[in-house]
Amino acid sequence: MDLHAEGERRSEASLALIERLDRHGNVLQSMRVSRWPVRIGRALDADLVPDDPFLAPHHAELDLVDGEPRLKLGQTLNGAQVCGHSLKAAGETATLTADEAGIRSWRMGTSTWRLRLATDALAPEQPLAPHHAAIAGPAPMEPAWRLVLPLLLAAVLAQLFDRWLDNNPGTPANTYISAGLGTLGLTMGWALLWSLGNKLFLGRLDFKVHLRLVLLFSLAWTALAAALPLLAYAMDWPALSRATELVTSALICALIWSHLVWIMPAHRKGLLAGIVGLYLTGVGLSLWINHQRSGLYFSERYVSALPPPGWRLVGMQPVSTLIDDARGLKAGLDRQAAQDSDEDESAFVFEE
């Protein structure tokens, strides 16, 4: 092989790179540019022939003029969009200017197109997101049961232990079997639902990935739901126990965000903003409804966990403190009783 000729061939093929993207930012088609101009369309004599029925036979022509890439429209009904401007008539041209990230893109047909010149600075390699690195796990050849089975077993055992704490001694064994099977079915169904979405958008199920996600978050949910009330009792911080619902709701939102990011990785920031907005809206509504019902922002009035006294890490309060606190509740209870009485009288008058 002539190394000089091979070097010239590679030099010619490195003028630019054209990529066709889907709506999620994934590359559908790419082409190295070895000469200008580049004709794009469905005709066989075009340089780049995409599979898109909404493109004309000679839809557009991409050329380099004075060092700047320029798109020229051909005979087409649908035109193109460049930097927010629409090209409709044949012969119209527009310069592809780079955005803040240094990306030159335009919209044509049902796809977004991206151009990278050989003179453009190449973005540095990005580190693998911890979210994907943690979920992806070991090499693909490793058996799936080594990744999922320990988490699945831990989730079922945690559910059975929680059910054992709630039930009285002598509870039939079928109660625990039903709880375990229910947990297993709910977990598998949730993972399968997201896997179908994964198949719809990315063309693959990734059931193992979504199953690991729901197992990891369910175990974290179980641990926090048990630890926060215990810590509130041990440290005499009742706010921790009241915040259990907020924390578990945040975990659910984080789980949904993790599923969505795996399916649509190009929209990570937008999905995060949407999930955070929904969470804050839900928390605000919940606090407002609780305040309207009881005058308190949290539905929990006292710490629900009552472990052995030896677990308490702060000093015990004398009985007089409890009595003083109870006296302080009288004014609020009187107001609530008066309000309830007024509402009852109003309802009676309305019925008459």
Q: What is the mean pLDDT of residues 103-124?
A: 85
With pLDDT > 90 as the criterion, what percentage of the chain qualifies? 14
**Which structural domains are found in the chain, ordered by start?**
15-117 (2.60.200.20), 130-294 (no CATH)
- Mean pLDDT for all residues in the chain: 78
pLDDT of residue 165: 66
Closest CA relative to residue 225, chosen from 331, 339, 325, 304: 304
Could you tell me the pTM of the whole model? 0.56
pLDDT of residue 177: 76
- The amino acid sitting at 43 is A
pLDDT of residue 275: 92
pLDDT of residue 346: 58
Residue-wise DSSP of 184-233: HHHHHHHHHHHHHHHHHHHS---HHHHHHHHHHHHHHHHHHHHHHHHHHH
3-state class (DSSP) for residue 30? strand
How many angstroms separate the CA atoms of 79 and 84, rounded? 13
Residue with the bigger pLDDT between 141 and 204: it is: 204
How many angstroms separate the CA atoms of 39 and 187, rounded? 51
Tokens describing residue 335? 């107001």
pLDDT of residue 4: 45
Weakest mean pLDDT among 81-85, 146-150, 155-159: 146-150
Q: Are 41 and 74 in contact (CB under 8 A)?
A: yes
Q: Are 87 and 79 in contact (CB under 8 A)?
A: yes
pLDDT of residue 6: 43
Weakest mean pLDDT among 19-23, 31-35, 271-275, 280-284: 19-23
